[in-house]
Amino acid sequence: GGGAHACHPLLDGHPRHRGSPHPAVEGPGPHARNPPPSPAANSIAWLVWHLTRIQADHVADAFGLDQVWLTQGWEKRFGLDLPPRDHGYGHTAAQVAKVTVDSPDLLTGYYDAVHEQSLGVLREVAAKDLERIVDERWDPPVSLGVRLVSVLADDLEHVGQAAYLRGLIQSAAA
C-alpha cells in the first residue's frame, strides 16, 4: 500500500515527475512543437510522445496490463502513420517526422492517462516486488526495479530535451 511507496526513492520519483512534459508542450504552437530543430534531431512532439509511449509500454508489460494507448483510444486520436504498438525506439528521421500534433492537449492528455495507470500500480509495489524478473530477453534478466529505473531515467532525459528545445525556440523568436 501507500507505506511501501513512501519509503522507496525509486517509486517516489514517479509522482514528482507528473506534469513535467506539460510546460515544454503547452508553450510553443504547432509550427514550433512539431518540426525538429534540424533534420536528424527529434521534435518536442516526438520527445514527449516517445517518453510517454515507453512508460506506457514498459509499465503495462511489467504489470501485465493493457496499454491505455490502445484501450482508451489514444492511438486513434493521434492518428499517426505508424504501427499501433510503435513507441519510437530506433526511429529514423522520417518516422520522427510522422509524429505531429495539432493540440498540446493531445500529448498532455495521453501523458496524464499513462501516468495515472503507472501511479496506480506503483502504489501497490512492495520492496520484494522490485526483485521480480519482468524481461528474460536480456543478460542478466531485467528486474522490475531495474525496469522502473530505466523508465524514469528515459522520461527525465526526454523531458529535459523537450524543455531545452522549447527554450531554444523561444530565444530564437525573441
Q: Any residues with CB less than 8 A from the CB of 4 and at least 6 apart, and which? A: 11, 124, 125, 126, 127
pLDDT tens string 26-47: 766 777 788 888 888 899 999 9
Across the range 71-96, mean pLDDT stands at: 96
First to last CA, the chain: 49
Please determine, for residue 167, whether its predicted confidence score (pLDDT) is greater than 80.
yes
Q: For position 11, what pLDDT does the model report?
A: 53
- 3 state SS of 24: helix
CA-CA-CA-CA torsion sign (41, 46, 51, 54): negative
Q: Any residues with CB less than 8 A from the CB of 114 and at least 6 apart, and which? A: 52, 55, 56, 59, 68, 69
Percent of the chain whose pLDDT exceeds 90? 47
CA distance 39 to 17: 29
pLDDT tens string 144-156: 988 888 888 888 8
Cis peptide, bond prior to residue 15, ω within 30 of zero: no
* 14-to-69, 77, 88, 137, 155 alpha-carbon distances in Å: 19, 26, 21, 25, 10
Contact in structure between 63 and 121 (CB atoms under 8 Å): yes
Q: For position 13, what pLDDT does the model report?
A: 56
* Residue 13 or 153, more confident: 153
Please determine, for residue 16, whether its predicted confidence score (pLDDT) is greater than 60.
no
Q: How confident is the model at residue 4 (pLDDT cuts 50, 70, 90)?
A: very low
Q: For position 6, what pLDDT does the model report?
A: 40
Which parts of the chain are beta strand (E)? Answer: 133-135, 142-143
CA distance 20 to 9: 18
Average pLDDT of the chain, as a whole number: 84
Count the helices and strands in the chain (H runs, E runs): 10, 2
